[in-house]
Chains A and B, each alone.
Chain A
Amino acid sequence: MGAAEKLAEMTQDQLVQYLLRLGDNTLVLGHRVSEWCGKSPVLEEDIALANTALDLLGQTQLWLGHAADVQGEGKSADDLAFLRDVWDFRNVLLVELPNGDFGQTLMRQFLFDAYHAVLLAELVNSTDATISAIAEKASKEVAYHLERSRDTVIGLGDGTEESHNRMQASLDLLWPYVGEMFHSDAVDAAAFAAGIGPDPASLRAGFDAIVSAALTEATLVKPESTFAHKGGRTGAMHTEHLGHMLCQMQWLQRAYPGNKW
């Protein structure tokens, strides 16, 4: 609560939006990754993906919990996760895209992990003590996610002809969703001015360094187009996939409101 008061430049609503973006990214990706549970190509990857999903959901609980606190309407992280509809979600489009094959899932994971790692490294310095503490905890988990997804992208990219082609196709498919992570709007500008978070554009160089090095090692070619789908983090327009995902994720709370584990 204190954070919203002392930072005059960022309104309470802007701070809530900012936190929803962080929490919705990890929530939606965490749910997507959990869809592999019990269905991965090998047991070792199955449990590794489940661990990643659980890390992301744990981070979600912290981000959305903080968002609910700042919002001050007596809601919980669960309320925000399970009782909002598509148009209220603020995640980037990249994380809501369907899993595709295993390679596509890992390519999506790698692109997000690279962004996530660079972002959290900046959020550790946030003037909001809660954001800084969450970033500190999450960055250790994400360092491992990145190491793992990076190695798998390299292994599959520089693997068989079949795996190489699939990874290149995944990269071509997902690349137009990269740009949105570095776009900026009034919420980001206010967060930057208040020392809450970085200017998204400033994260691009760090992201490019990680991604270019890995793609070279993976013998994959980065698409030249800089076209970027957008609308997820502002909530202007999500892909058609998010609604279907929320149907699955939220149906229990919608069908049995207030039901507890």
Chain B
Amino acid sequence: MSQEWPLWEIFIRGQHGLSHRHVGSLHAPDAEMAIKNARDVYTRRNEGVSIWVVEAKHISATAPGEKGPLFEPSESKVYRHPSFFDIPEEAGHM
């Protein structure tokens, strides 16, 4: 084989009501085979009820170098956490 199969990112929903979570990646010639391979590689121990596959090249990501401007400004803004309210007894656990 002269060409490598493309890389696919695999997302699995563990149970109904939960969201799909990224579990890893694998190679496959097309989306259908990527789903089959994901079934065989990532759901052998009954881990899932649904599989999403996305070709890795279609995912845009933040650059590690931009960490400062992107994420550090929010470190000093504790008031954005809803932890400054007195919760009435009747509301119970939130």
Q: Which residues of A contact B (CB under 8 A)?
A: 42-44, 47-48, 51, 144, 147-148, 151, 155
Contacts and interface: CB of A to CB of B under 8 A. Distances in A.
Contact of B40 (A47, A151, A155): A47
Contacts of B29: 155
B56 interface: no
A51 B40 contact: yes
Nearest to A51: B40
A51 B33 contact: no
A11 B33 CA distance: 46
A144 to B, nearest CB: 8
Given A44-B27, A51-B44, A151 B32 contact: yes
12 contacts: A42-B5, A43-B26, A43-B41, A44-B26, A44-B27, A44-B40, A47-B40, A47-B41, A48-B36, A48-B40, A148-B36, A151-B32
Given A43-B26, A51-B40, A151-B33, 17 more contacts: A42-B27, A43-B27, A43-B41, A44-B26, A44-B27, A44-B28, A47-B41, A47-B44, A48-B36, A48-B40, A48-B41, A51-B44, A144-B39, A148-B36, A151-B32, A151-B36, A155-B33
B32 A44 contact: no
A152 B53 CA distance: 19
B50 interface: no
Contacts of B41: 43-44, 47-48
Nearest to B28: A44
B37 A44 contact: yes
A43 B27 CA distance: 9
Contacts of A155: 29, 33
Interface string B41-71: 1001000000000000000000000000000
B37 A48 contact: yes
A144 B40 CA distance: 10
B71 to A, nearest CB: 34
A48 B40 CA distance: 5
A103 B46 CA distance: 29
Interface in B1-55: 5, 26-29, 32-33, 36-37, 39-41, 44
Nearest to B30: A155
A44 B10 CA distance: 13
B36 A147 contact: yes
Contacts of B39: 144
A148 B35 CA distance: 11
Nearest to A49: B40
B83 to A, nearest CB: 46
Contacts of B40: 44, 47-48, 51
A51 B29 CA distance: 20
Interface in B66-86: none
A44 B33 CA distance: 10
Contacts of B26: 43-44
A144 B36 CA distance: 9
A147 B36 CA distance: 9
Contacts of B5: 42
Nearest to B33: A151
Nearest to B41: A47
